[in-house]
Structure 1
Amino acid sequence: MSPRITMSTASRVLRQLRHDRRTVGLMLVVPILLLTLLYFMYDTGHTFDRVALTMLGIFPFTIMFLVTSIAMLRERTSGTLERLLTTPLGKLDLLFGYGIAFGFAAAVQATVAVAAAYWLLGLETVGHAALVVLIAVVDAVLGVALGLFCSAFARTEFQAVQFLPVVVIPQLLLCGLFVPREQMAGWLQAASDVFPLSYAVDALAQVGRSPDPTGTMWWDLTVVAGAAVLALMLAAATLRRRTA
C-alpha cells in the first residue's frame, strides 16, 4: 500500500464527485429537506428531538451506501476498475482511497446536516453536537464500506439500488426507531443485535440523554467502526484483476 497512490485515488474520486452536482445535492441538500419535513410533522419539540437525532445517523448511512455502490459499479462496468488494477494501484490503495474520499464527503454532509438541525430547526440534545457529527461520520463510512461490497453483486445501477431494501431497510426497521429493541420479539431482537445500524442509533440516543460521552456510546461506536472494517475486508475480496 502506497500513501501517495492512496491519496491520488482519493483526489480522483473527489474530483469526480465535485462535478456530479446531482450527487452533491443528494448528499447535502436532501438531508436538510427531510429534517425540515420532520420538523413540521411533529408539534412537540421532544418528539422532533428524538426522531431527528436518530435520522442524523440514518441519513448518512443510507445516502452514502447508495452513492458509493453506484459509483463503484460504474468503475467496474466501465472497465475503469480493470484498467486501474493493471497499474501499481493495489486493492488497499483503491479501497482506502475511496474510503478517504467518501469519508471526507460524509464529514461535510454530517456537519451541514447537524448544523442545520441545531441552528435552523432548534434541535436540542443533552450531549454535544460534535459527538453527533462523529457518530454520523462513522455511520456514513459504514454505508461506504457496505456500498463497496454490495456493488460486486450488481451488473446495472438498477440492481445496485435493489440492494437498498435488502441491506438498509431491515436495519432501519429493527434499529429501535419505531419500536424499542427490548420490546421486540426475541428473534427480532436477536436480528437487531447483529445489525450495526442498531448500535449507531443507540450511540446517538446516549448523546441525547447524557451530557458526557458514556462507555456505552464508545462501545456502540466501536461496533459500528468494526463492522465498517469488516465490510471493507469483504469488499477487498470482491476486487479482482479481471471484471465481468
Structure 2
Amino acid sequence: MRPYAATTTRILRQLAADRRSVAMILLVPSLVITLMYFMFSDVGHPPGTPSPFNAACLILLGLFPLFLMFVITAITMQRERASGTLERILTTPLRRLDLLAAYGTAFSIAAVAQAGLTCVVAFWLLGLKTAGNPAWVFAVAISSAVLGVGLGLLCSAFARTEFQSVQFIPVVMVPQLLLAGIIVARSAMPQWLQWVSNAMPASYALEALQQVGANPELTGVAARDIVIVLAFAVTALALAAVTLRRRTA
C-alpha cells in the first residue's frame, strides 16, 4: 500500500501544481454550463414544462466530464512517459495494476472535485431542476468522469506522443457523443447503430441522467446504467494495466 499511496500523492501534487490543468478540470465545465444558461435564458417554453436549459445541462453533466477527463488523463500519462517518470516506476516492484490504480485514484479524486463543483454551480447558482434527487445527478457525473479516466489510461498505453493521445478523441469519444442519443434518439437509429450505441458507455450515462431528470425516485434503469458505466471504467483500468509496457530497454 505504501508505494500505491506514494504514487497517488505524487500525482495529486503534480496536478495541484499545474494551474492550467486545475483550471481545465475545475473551472471549464462550470463556465461552459454558465454560458449555456445564458444561451437559453430568453428561449421560451410552454408553461408548466421544464426549461430547455434543464435537458441541455443534464447532457453536459453526463458527457462533458467524460470527455474532459479522458483528454486530461491521456495527455498527463503521456507526459509521465515522456519525462521518464513512468519508465522508472515500472522498474520498481509496484505491480502494473497497482500503478494504474494509483493513477486512476488520483484522477478520480480530481473527477469528484470537478463533478461536485459543476453540480453546485448547476443546481444552486443556475437553478437546474430535476424530478430526482440531485445527489443521483452527482453520482452519474462522477461515474462519467471516472469512466473518462479509465478510457484515458487505456488509450494512453497505445500512444507514443501527446499528439497521438489527442488523436484518440475522434476515434474513442466522438462516436460516443454522436450515438448517445443527443442528436437522434437511439430508438430512431438503424438497428445496427443501436447495437453500436448499446456497446458504448456514454449512452448509459446519458440515459441514467435522463431517468433522474424525469423520475422522483431512482429507477431500476438508472441504477443499472450507473453500474454499467462503472463496470466499463473498471474494465478499461484492467485492460490498461494489461497493455502497459516499458518502452525502454
Range of TM-score over shorter length? over 0.9
Residue from 175, 182, 203 that aligns with 1:198: 203
Residues 1:243 and 1:60: Cα distance change in structure 2 (over 3 Å): farther
Which one-letter code corresponds to 2:6 in the other structure?
A: S
2:198 aligned counterpart, secondary structure:
helix
| Deviation by residue 1:76-99 (Cα, 9 ceiling, x = unmatched) | 222211110111222122111111
Residue from 12, 15, 18 that aligns with 1:17: 15
Instruction: State the match for 2:227 in structure 1.
Output: 222
Partners of 1:216 and 1:240 lie apart in 2 by: 38
Kept in 2, the 8 Å contact 1:51–1:177? The answer is: no
Which one-letter code corresponds to 1:234 in the other structure?
A: L
| Deviation by residue 1:175-221 (Cα, 9 ceiling, x = unmatched) | 01111111112122111111000000000111101111111111101
1:70 aligns with 2:59: no
Residues matched between the structures, number: 242
Partners of 1:76 and 1:46 lie apart in 2 by: 46
Instruction: State the match for 1:142 in structure 2.
Output: 147
1:123 aligns with 2:128: yes
Instruction: State the match for 1:180 in structure 2.
Output: 185
Partners of 2:198 and 2:222 lie apart in 1 by: 15
Partners of 1:71 and 1:21 lie apart in 2 by: 13
Kept in 2, the 8 Å contact 1:9–1:93? The answer is: no
| Deviation by residue 1:121-174 (Cα, 9 ceiling, x = unmatched) | 111101111111111111111111110111122222111111111111110011
1:227 aligned counterpart, secondary structure:
helix
1:37 aligns with 2:42: no
Instruction: State the match for 2:51 in structure 1.
Output: 46
Instruction: State the match for 1:6 in structure 2.
Output: 4
Partners of 1:222 and 1:185 lie apart in 2 by: 26
Structure 1 residue runs of 4 or more that deviate by more than 6 Å after TM superposition: none
State, as a whole percentage, how many aligned pairs show the same letter: 55
Partners of 1:215 and 1:8 lie apart in 2 by: 39
Which one-letter code corresponds to 2:28 in the other structure?
A: V
Structure 1 range deviating more: 41-50 or 112-121:
41-50
Instruction: State the match for 2:47 in structure 1.
Output: none
Uncovered stretches (5+) of structure 1, i.e. residues with no partner: none
Following superposition, the deviation at residue 243 of structure 1 comes to: 4.3
Following superposition, the deviation at residue 242 of structure 1 comes to: 4.0
Instruction: State the match for 1:170 in structure 2.
Output: 175
2:92 aligned counterpart, secondary structure:
coil
Residue from 214, 237, 242 that aligns with 1:237: 242
Partners of 1:133 and 1:40 lie apart in 2 by: 22
Which one-letter code corresponds to 1:180 in the other structure?
A: A
Partners of 1:186 and 1:4 lie apart in 2 by: 50
Which one-letter code corresponds to 2:14 in the other structure?
A: Q
Which one-letter code corresponds to 1:29 in the other structure?
A: L
Kept in 1, the 8 Å contact 2:97–2:238? The answer is: no
Kept in 2, the 8 Å contact 1:79–1:243? The answer is: no
Instruction: State the match for 1:27 in structure 2.
Output: 25
Following superposition, the deviation at residue 47 of structure 1 comes to: 1.3
1:105 aligns with 2:110: yes
Which one-letter code corresponds to 1:52 in the other structure?
A: C
